[in-house]
Structure 1
Amino acid sequence: MICALIAGVFTGYPVAFLLCGLGVLFAVMSGIPLGFMGTIVSKIYAGILSNWLLLAAPLFIYMGLMLDKSGLAQRLLLTLERLCGQLPGGLALSVAVLGIVMAASTGIVGASVMLLGVIALPVMLRQGYDKKFAAGVTAATGTLGILIPPSIMLVFMGAILQVSIGDLFKAALFPGLMLGTLYILYILGVGFFTPHRAPVPSLKALDDVNKGHSDSLMLELVKNLLGPLLLIGAVLGSIITGIATPTEAAGIGAAGATLLAWITRKLNFPVLRDVVRDTSKTTAMVIFVMIGAACFSAVFKRLGGDTMIEEMFLGTGFGPYGLLVLMMGLIFIMGFFLEWIEISFIVLPLFAPIIKVLDFGFDSTGTELLVWFAILAAMNMQTSFITPPFGYSLFYLRGVAPKGVTIQDIYKSSIPFVILQLICLALIVAFPSIVLWITRI
């Protein structure tokens, strides 16, 4: 089944139908009773289609798309450019800060990368930035939304691993900000030590940026940043303090994003129609993958596949951390070819039982181990967006990049940021308290 799945992925056939088709095919070939397939249907309905917690996913997707349509990101980038313009690498720094704010308020990687690619990448190139550095900053900062809560990936990982989505949001907050900080430090380093790659704009360029802005810089920053910050505070604050469940907080976020679009006079019927349609398409795509994965994994476990995987890993003779490195290495390699959705639904159910029985030498319950492992996997799977040859963010960026920026340039641009992500991953492995301290409060 594993070999057939790998071969099927490279045919380009939709993964959702591939998973479901292989599950049915191997069930028939193995003589599994038809009644067992009926239990899979019940499992899909009870565990996926009627799972109240998964309602958070379309609401968070709606929130991100509505904020994207409101034009807040464009105005905020111009304000940050005015604020950081005279610093070495100031424009790239503005893009990184905007990426962090968008990650915490939208969580939609495709929208973030394409938006930054349209409004920021051409400006950096006009100001003389090295195209590899500019493309890397744009692609990497746009992917932060998959890790920094509210993250769609964490919603589905909570459902897969049967752990609290609220705990995952809390646990991912500090690692996500830590990764964003590493990006900022790298950008500042490039600006100071190799200024030819990220030059300070000329006085004329700064005058052009400031032209047409009647408000003071601080007033404009408050106006453009206040709305997203209030929305982030309402969503994450209500979850962390226990006032609302993630699903209820997602409803708050969706309503807040609609209100912000109305305040900025961007809310109209065409915008609402596009947001609802894109939300439905994205949600349907993920749900189909979940249904296919449920069918595949049920047959795989019925045939003893989970026992085979567990014995194979435990039989290596590696200690707990050796097995963890092996798992992370497998997820990292899969990220070269698969998206996080496929990796999550295929790999996590197989690895979770192994993680729960391992002793990593620090005081934690089985549930805490799963939360820690989930954040490790999430950080690892984030690299799948910017690792060649099939990194989705790289293709998103290529679709909107200015003429002269080739796919080879974009591939090379991702390497420093992949290294930064692996450094952050290693820190979380070495110091689990980075993840767990906030969940214990």
Structure 2
Amino acid sequence: MIDWLIDHLAVVMFFGLILVMFIGYPVAFLLGAVGVFFGLVGVWFDVFNLAQFANLLPRIYGQAAQNQVLVAIPMFVFMGTMLEKSRVAEDLLRALQVLLRRLPGGLAVAVTVLGTVMAATTGIVGASVIMLTLIALPAMLQRGYQKELAVGTIASAGTLGILLPPSIMLVIMGDLVGLSVGSLFMAAVIPGLLMSALYVVYIVVLAGFRPGLAPALELSEGPSDAGEMTRMILRSFLPPASLIVLVLGSIFAGWATPTEASGVGALGAILLAWFNGQLSMKVLKEVMYSAAQTNAMVFFIIFGATLFSYVFRALGGDEVVLDILKAFGLDTGWEVLVFVMVLVFVMGFFFDWIEICLIVIPVFAPIIGKLDFGTVIEGRQVILLWFSILLAVNMQSAFLTPPFGFALFYMKATVPKEVTMMHIYRGIIPFVLIQMVALALCVAFPELVLYLPREMGLLD
């Protein structure tokens, strides 16, 4: 028994982390505490040297404190929070309602399009879900939309911010996997737009067959002439479009790194808030406080994750996991990939995306990078890029699946009393299934992920 424990100490460490996370203690401290505890256990069994802990300080300093890419995180948080105050989303939703009023479920489609646009400008799920709920849900309920369809549409559209660039998750994943953030941003564009398009198709088909669930907007509503319509479109679409071009355009064109582009985006968000008359010292203080708080949380988690992954590998975790996968008969790349995707989906019921990232990526990314997926997906960099986007698509469901779907709690805190938690749970089911369809398409057709990075010369 003792010999088996010594040989499989890394596996016990992995499942021990999952177990203690249910305690509800901050994940940053749990990661570090589990790493230290099992490091000491390894010292006791003479499979880990106490002096190896000395390697942690230069690792943490090099991976986090000196990491220029991670500087983009507080800037993107600042940008998203400032946009929430600028009323850009309200003007854009009104314009989209008018433009899509002839389409079945036009208001729900408008909310999905708005969520897609805001995802490409904020990259923050919490801000997007709360903003869409406050702006769109009253209008949808007033129009007589079914509660389940209304909340499902808003929650799914709001979570697009975790996948579409400039996603904070992709910034952190790039650092964990060792890929450029620009290549991850480019690879996520088509899968993100695909998921948004699948939402739209579902809403249009459902509203076409059951119009009572999504009553149409009256054709008489909106601008009365072409000139007024043009002014409304320009006033609504130009601000967010300008910000998207500033941030993503500068990255994709090679004019700026993600870190530099995040600063440009933060400045653009301030200018938009000023232009709409929403900029004040109180708002600026609130946004700065929120950005600093999020930044501190992320870096504490990175410190803990660095400690955990270092001890895990020092205990032979990579080799042990590979042996276990082979023992289960999972010896091909595709079998291991399916296993990891199912594992991540199940973990999404209980953990946040950042916890899943920090548990799964250090363990499985080195293994996935060495496996064979055929000639279409060849080379470690290509495999890891494809795998990272599959993880990102899969982890979007973690925001929607009960009991711990964070988007559901963001929404419940802002919906009126007549919308219950059961309405929200029932409403997200078809959209989670759509996310799984998008994931299956990205697995079956890797070029959905790899086409843009290859065209832009971001892959060797």
Given the alignment of the two structures, is residue 78 of structure 1 paired with residue 94 of structure 2, yes or no? Answer: yes
| Paired position in structure 2 for 1:427 | 441
Q: How does 1:206-245 map to 2 (within 5 A)?
A: 207=221, 216-245=228-257
Instruction: Check conservation: 1:83, 1:217, Cα contact below 8 A.
Output: no
- The match for 2:305 is 293
More off after superposition, 243-252 vs 306-315: 306-315
Structure 1 stretch 26-35 or stretch 52-61: which is displaced more? 26-35
Corresponding residue number in structure 2 for 1:348 = 361
Using the alignment, how far apart are the partners of 1:286 and 1:81 within structure 2?
A: 37
Moved more, 385-394 or 72-81: 72-81
CA–CA separation in structure 2 for the residues paired with 1:176 and 1:362: 25
Give the AA of the match of 1:299.
V
1:171 aligns to what SS in structure 2? Answer: helix
Cα deviations by residue, 1:76-107 (Å, 9 ceiling, x for unpaired)? 11222222234321111111111011000111
Q: Conserved in 2, the CA contact under 8 Å of 1:144 and 1:176?
A: yes
SS in 2 for 1:357: coil
Which among 397, 406, 431 is matched to residue 417 of structure 1?
Answer: 431
1:69 matched residue in structure 2: 85
Please, which of 264, 275, 293 is the counterpart of residue 263 of structure 1?
Answer: 275
1:271-420 matches, cutoff 5 A:
271-318=283-330, 319-363=332-376, 364-420=378-434
Shift of 1:120: 0.8
Q: State the match for 1:24 in structure 2.
A: 36
**Counterpart residue identity of residue 382, structure 1:** Q
Indicate if the aligned counterparts of 2:101 and 2:107 stay in contact, CA closer than 8 A.
yes
SS in 2 for 1:310: helix
Name segments (4+ residues, structure 1) moved above 6 Å. Answer: none
Q: Which consecutive unaligned segments of at least 5 residues does structure 1 have? A: none
**Greater shift after overlay, 229-238 or 108-117?**
229-238
Letter aligned with residue 50 of structure 1: Q
Aligned to 1:9: 21
Select which of 127, 130, 134 maps to 2:146. Answer: 130
In the TM superposition, 1:144-159 aligns within 5 A as 144-159=160-175
Which 10-residue stretch deviates more, 386-395 or 256-265?
256-265
**5+ residue gaps, structure 2:** 1-12, 456-460
Q: How does 1:175-254 map to 2 (within 5 A)?
A: 175-201=191-217, 207=221, 216-254=228-266
**8 A contact 2:318–2:366 mirrored in 1:** no
Moved more, 291-300 or 98-107: 291-300
Aligned pair count reads 437
Query: Distance in 2 between the 1:61 and 1:83 partners?
Result: 30
Q: CA deviation at 1:34?
A: 3.6
Counterpart position of 2:136:
120
Structure 1 residue 140 displacement after superposition: 0.4
- The alpha-carbon deviation at position 245 of structure 1 amounts to 1.2
* Cα gap change, 1:215 to 1:68, in 2 (>3 Å): farther
Q: Residues 209-262 of structure 1, C-alpha deviation per residue, up to 9 Å, x if partnerless?
A: 769x99712311211211111111121111112121111111211111112112
RMSD value, Cα:
1.7
- Stretch of structure 1 that moved more, 333-342 or 262-271: 262-271
Q: Distance in 1 between matches of 2:388 and 2:107?
A: 33
Q: Is the 8 A contact 2:76 2:265 kept in 1?
A: yes
Contact 1:82 1:217 in 2 (8 A): no
SS state at 2:369 partner: helix
Residue 161 in 1 paired to residue 161 in 2?
no
Q: Secondary structure at the match of 1:244?
A: coil
Equivalent position of 1:101 in the other structure: 117
Aligned sequence identity (%): 48
Deviations, residues 18-71 of structure 1 (Å, cap 9, x unaligned) = 111111122223224442222112211111121011111111111111111111
Letter in 2 for 1:427: L
- Give CA-to-partner distance per residue, 1:342-368, whole Å, 9 cap, x none: 111111111111111111112432101
Q: Equivalents in 1 of 2:175, 2:127: separation in Å?
A: 24
Distance in 2, matches of 1:182 and 1:194, equals 18
Q: Which amino acid aligns with 1:29?
A: V
Q: Which residue of 1 aligns with 2:6?
A: none
Offset at residue 411 of structure 1 (A): 0.8
Residue 270 of structure 1 aligns to a residue in which SS?
helix
